[in-house]
């Protein structure tokens, strides 16, 4: 286990003083449920902490980088940097999915590639780094992880409204706007995952999941656009 964690630390560029924080950050709730006797703790509390730190650090980065930007633009840019898709991309760059302790049922359902799980793991990792070090250290860690997304957001390449894009495409073809329907919800109230279907003329053309209904709708629209469906 230790060598496994060391390999992951090399990928992140941060070496933990207390590796129990890292173990917790990589422990999904499904693993805890399948191993009730091991007295394990899932990464949900660290996720909560990391989410707050991420907002604060990225907010400060954008505030300093864009001294003339109004609140509305800063808020939109920060939302693009800390959104589920961007965090999932960061997670994939670190190969976090391969290192997660996850229940067999979740693995069989594709949990190691699920964007919501990958995004949550990045936030949990951030929370773990903070508890193991300091605000200054985690700020540097977040700055390094989000360097590319921040640059893309500032340049306008990251902020995308997939729902508007697909609606414009359908209108150009003389078709009705799509509707979105929640197919199911998973998880506790404080950490739900929503699964949404994108429907055109009564037919499901795509689906997406996210930590909010809006996020799931955007992911469903993105899936359709990227597949070229209409």
Q: What positions carry a catalytic annotation?
A: 51, 123
Find out whether 140 and 85 touch, Cβ atoms under 8 Å: no
Strand 203-210's sheet: what is its strand order?
179-186, 193-200, 203-210
Burial class of residue 133 in the structure, from the number of CB atoms within 10 Å of its CB (0-12 exposed, 13-18 middle, 19+ buried): middle
- Reported as half-sphere exposure (CB side, CA atoms, 13 A), residue 206 has a value of 22
Rounded to whole angstroms, how far apart are CA atoms 128 and 25?
A: 6
The 3-state DSSP class for residue 109 equals coil
* 3-state DSSP percent of the chain in helix, strand and coil, to 5: 65, 10, 25
């Amino acid at each position: 286990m230790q060598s496994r964690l060391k390999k992951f630390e090399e990928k992140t560029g941060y070496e933990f003083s207390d590796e129990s924080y890292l173990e917790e950050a990589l422990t999904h709730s499904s693993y805890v449920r399948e191993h009730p006797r091991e007295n394990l703790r899932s990464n949900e509390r660290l996720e909560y902490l990391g989410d707050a730190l991420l907002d604060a650090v990225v907010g400060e980065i954008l505030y300093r980088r864009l001294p003339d930007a109004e609140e509305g633009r800063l808020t939109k840019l920060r939302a693009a940097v800390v959104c589920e898709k961007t965090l999932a991309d960061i997670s994939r760059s670190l190969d976090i999915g391969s290192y997660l302790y996850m229940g067999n049922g979740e693995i069989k359902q594709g949990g190691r590639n699920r964007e919501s799980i990958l995004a949550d793991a990045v936030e949990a990792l951030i929370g773990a780094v903070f508890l193991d070090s300091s605000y200054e250290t985690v700020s540097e860690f977040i700055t390094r992880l989000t360097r590319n997304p921040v640059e893309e957001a500032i340049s306008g390449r990251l902020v995308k409204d997939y729902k508007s894009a697909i609606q414009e495409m359908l209108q150009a073809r003389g078709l009705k706007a799509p509707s979105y329907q929640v197919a199911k919800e998973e998880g506790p109230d404080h950490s739900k995952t929503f699964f949404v279907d994108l429907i055109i003329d009564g037919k499901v053309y795509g689906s997406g999941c996210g930590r909010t209904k809006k996020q799931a709708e955007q992911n469903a629209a993105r899936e359709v656009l990227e597949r070229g469906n209409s």
